[in-house]
Amino acid sequence: MLDLNRLKALHAVHVYGSVGAAADALMVTPSAVSQQIAKLERETGARLVERNGRGVRLTDAAGLLAEHAERILALVETAEADFEALRGQVVGRLNVGAFPTAARGLMPAALAELRERHPDLLLHLYEREPERVVREVARGELDLVIVQDWLNRPMAIPEGLSRKTLLDDVADVAVPADHPLAGSKEIPLSALQGERWISSTPGTICHDWLVFTLRSAEVEPEIACMADEYPTHLALVAAGLGCAIVPRLGRDPVPDNVRFVPLRPGQSRRIYALWRTDAARRPAIRATVDALVRASSRHENAWAVA
């Protein structure tokens, strides 16, 4: 009988094109993937991989088996979801991916609630960038993900995924406390002409959004520093090295000598959960989404009071 874990390893190599990429997607070591495929070769009595330079390529037999594996794995997943739905119990394993700010700002409260309410649910959290987790949930490697898109630069979402909006996260400009605009009630982006900026790494959603937004306001960005974590942005602003646009979910802790000024027009990003539509009947997914909604509401209520 064919082993599902070995089929999963072969299918991952087929999809991602290399043992290393497959291992990364499956969250195991490359040697573990190679071992599973070697066992599958013995199990089937067929050669499945061949050396190709420094890597490997799949044989025709492996390609045929990988296509069957895709259908088999999809059926197994559907059976598991149907069985969980039939029992109506929040159980099993759920793999969740979240971008760094959400992993820090939303997941701790949601995970703590889920552990208390549903102790038989085994939930694993992976911190990754939005573009990656969207691909992984679409392929079935993650069960549920938290992603973001800026309202003036929405993210493309593949078909077959369902979503639930968690919150609209408003962003303000962070400036040093001695900046001439630090005490303003509200400013247009054009007031920041000539400023130096703290940005995320080029190619990320937040970097591309910042450049697009500033140029839309006819402000040519001069990027002074690049870092991917908002606490680092704020530390650089506190040192007087530039300004940064920082969402409210990502700004704690705030250095004493940093001030936030609201922007006109307001800037915000939408944070939402995504999962495969065919897995929506799983009680574990519904329970996790509900916990995320409650965690998000607490932040929005706190911002309203502030």
**pLDDT value, residue 194:** 93
pLDDT at 137 over 70: yes
**pLDDT value, residue 87:** 65
Query: By the 8 A CB rule, do 40 and 1 touch?
Result: no
Largest CA distance in the chain: 74
Residue 143 dihedral angles phi and psi, to the nearest 5°: -90, -35
pLDDT digit string, tens, across residues 206-236 = 999 999 999 999 999 999 999 999 999 999 9
**pLDDT value, residue 84:** 63
Query: By the 8 A CB rule, do 213 and 290 touch?
Result: no
**pLDDT value, residue 81:** 65
pLDDT digit string, tens, across residues 150-209 = 877 788 888 899 999 999 999 999 999 999 999 999 999 999 999 999 999 998 889 999
Name the pLDDT band for 85 (thresholds 50, 70, 90). low
pLDDT digit string, tens, across residues 43-65 = 888 888 787 767 778 888 878 88
Residues sharing a CB contact under 8 Å with residue 47, sequence separation 6 or more, in sequence order: 41, 59, 61
pLDDT digit string, tens, across residues 112-132 = 999 999 998 999 999 998 888
Name the pLDDT band for 289 (thresholds 50, 70, 90). very high
**pLDDT value, residue 123:** 93
* C-alpha dihedral (271, 278, 158, 106), degrees to nearest 10: 20
- Going along the chain from its start, the domains and CATH numbers come out as 4-85 (1.10.10.10), 90-306 (3.40.190.290)
Name the pLDDT band for 279 (thresholds 50, 70, 90). confident
For 141-180, b/e burial (b = at least 16 CB within 10 A) is bbbbbbbbbbeeeebebeeebbebebbebbbbbbbbeebe
- Chain CA centroid to CA 18, Å: 23
**pLDDT value, residue 163:** 94
- Amino acid occupying residue 255: P
pLDDT at 82 over 80: no
pTM above 0.85, yes or no: no
Could you give the C-alpha distances from 196 to 36, 48, 177, 207, 221, in angstroms and in order? 52, 55, 15, 14, 7
- What rounded mean pLDDT belongs to the chain? 88
What distance in Å separates the CA atoms of residue 227 and residue 17, rounded to the nearest whole number? 31
